[in-house]
Amino acid sequence: MLSSALLVWFTTLSPAQAHEVIPSIGDMRVVDGQVTFEIRANVESFIAGIDLTETSDTNESAQAATYDELRALAPDVLAARFEAFWPQMAQGITLTADGAPLVPTLTRIDVDPVGDVEVVRASVLAFSAPLPSGAETVQMGWASEFGVLVLRQMDVPAPYDGYLEAGALSDPIPLAGGGQATGWETFVDYIPVGFDHIVPKGLDHILFVLGLFFLAARLRPLILQVSLFTVAHTITLALAALGYTAFMDDFTQGTFGIAFIDIVEPLIALSIAYVAIENIFMKGISPWRPFVIFIFGLLHGLGFASVLAEFGLPDETFVAALIGFNVGVEVGQLAVIAVMFLCVWQVLRIDRGANEVGQGFALYSVLLIAALALIALNPAALVAALENPVWLFAGPLAGVFVLSIAAIQFRDQQDAYRRLVAVPSSCAIAVVGLYWFIERSFL
């Protein structure tokens, strides 16, 4: 029963790639006394009024039906709709020169053909504003509901490159160039980007790491598994970011007519199912598990690389950005493990003989009530931080707390923690992995 409840919660986390929210990418230039911006973006989401900061999948928004209608429009019709929407969008754009406000004017909107309506369509919108005589710097940003903007300065030495989210305004950008971040600044800036793509956006990677955790919540096997996984995905992330895996996409596109990442994503889902299923039947690390985890780590690295491909890395500080992103990923993985370890720490102590039964019942009762309260209240600040309704994360945790109470209740049975916490949780993770595999392969 409880595994079924966990399964319902986890399957709602399934990332639907067809309606995935991706960053907008903007190129800034100065041409004939005008500052111009050319932005590749999903304009359907803008017109539909979807808040892209609080939404990771357009299917989950209240405006999903409107978005789907817009997605099916012919290019000229959608372009006309955007032109009508532009005055509203322009009000959400902040553009200044040396602190003085500029008024952006739409100069072009290019919309790709309809194509496969189950795939995100990118359009290019361009706008400009005249610069005051002698202007030295420009700042640009837009409202948080328009989502992440990767802003790149073009055609100048040491160009500015910024990752703007949650309505952030860029630093003053020197029009003559020289606003490029240092290697250290780039490294620091990309750590939260990597972390964000684990928590809360990397739901499949979160489940894989939890699959590693539930095999054995002991330090040595956990360190071995996480270390192998980390080394492997670092290798493929670096190779892909440097362009050394491009031949794989060329091969699959040319031979099978399918993007390589569309093969990788189902395999990542299958890796989640495998490690979870092995947890059910194995009490410790099997002779083959380290090799399997390493191979799966290579796959997950390609998945991380697809995220980087959405917005690219600055050429001049490429290495610093790549390392910063990878550090953020590792911190995110460790945060997932730390949270789950704290959640089961008390039941593990009791399972290993600690005389703390009353304390355990009290602790998990309080945690369960807190999780249920968060689900009921669904606080806006937490929704914004998680980019999802609170119950999608608090629900599974509540399930773990109930399982922990059950393990304490039946503590006299052999391997109570494994049988009543680790195995049911692994069952739920395995079914979700299989569901995602089917969804990504056939649906």
User: CA 206, CA 223: separation in Å to the nearest integer?
Assistant: 16
pLDDT at 310: 66
Residue 111 DSSP SS3: strand
Model confidence pLDDT, tens digit, residues 205-254: 999 999 999 987 778 888 889 899 999 999 998 888 888 888 888 888 88
Q: What sections of 12-157 are H helices per DSSP?
A: 43-48, 64-71, 75-91
pLDDT of residue 84: 97
At position 436, the amino acid (one-letter code) is W
Give the residue from 166, 205, 187, 164 showing the smallest Cα distance to 332. 205
Alpha helix (H) residue ranges in 312-390: 318-351, 357-377, 380-386
Looking at 49-117, list the stretches that DSSP marks H as alpha helix, in order from N- to C-terminal side: 64-71, 75-91
Contact between 276 and 433 (Cβ < 8 Å): yes
In Å, how far from its chain's centre is CA 410?
38
C-beta atoms surrounding 42 within 10 Å: 25
Claim: this prediction has a pTM higher than 0.95:
no
In whole angstroms, give the CA distance from residue 355 to residue 361.
12
Closest by CA position to 347, among listed 276, 419, 252, 278: 419
- The CA distance from 205 to 208, in Å, is 5
The pLDDT profile of the chain, 443 residues, written as one tens digit per residue, is 444 434 433 333 333 344 567 789 999 999 999 999 999 999 999 999 999 887 777 777 889 899 999 999 999 999 999 999 999 999 999 999 999 999 999 999 999 998 877 778 889 999 999 999 999 999 999 999 999 899 999 999 989 988 898 789 999 999 998 888 888 888 998 898 889 889 888 889 999 999 999 987 778 888 889 899 999 999 998 888 888 888 888 888 888 888 888 899 899 999 999 999 999 999 888 899 999 999 999 999 988 887 776 666 777 778 888 899 889 999 999 999 999 999 999 999 999 999 999 999 999 999 999 999 999 999 988 987 887 889 989 999 999 999 999 999 999 999 999 999 999 999 999 999 999 999 888 87
Enumerate the H helices of 352-379 as residue ranges: 357-377
Q: How close are the terminal C-alpha atoms of the chain, in Å?
A: 27
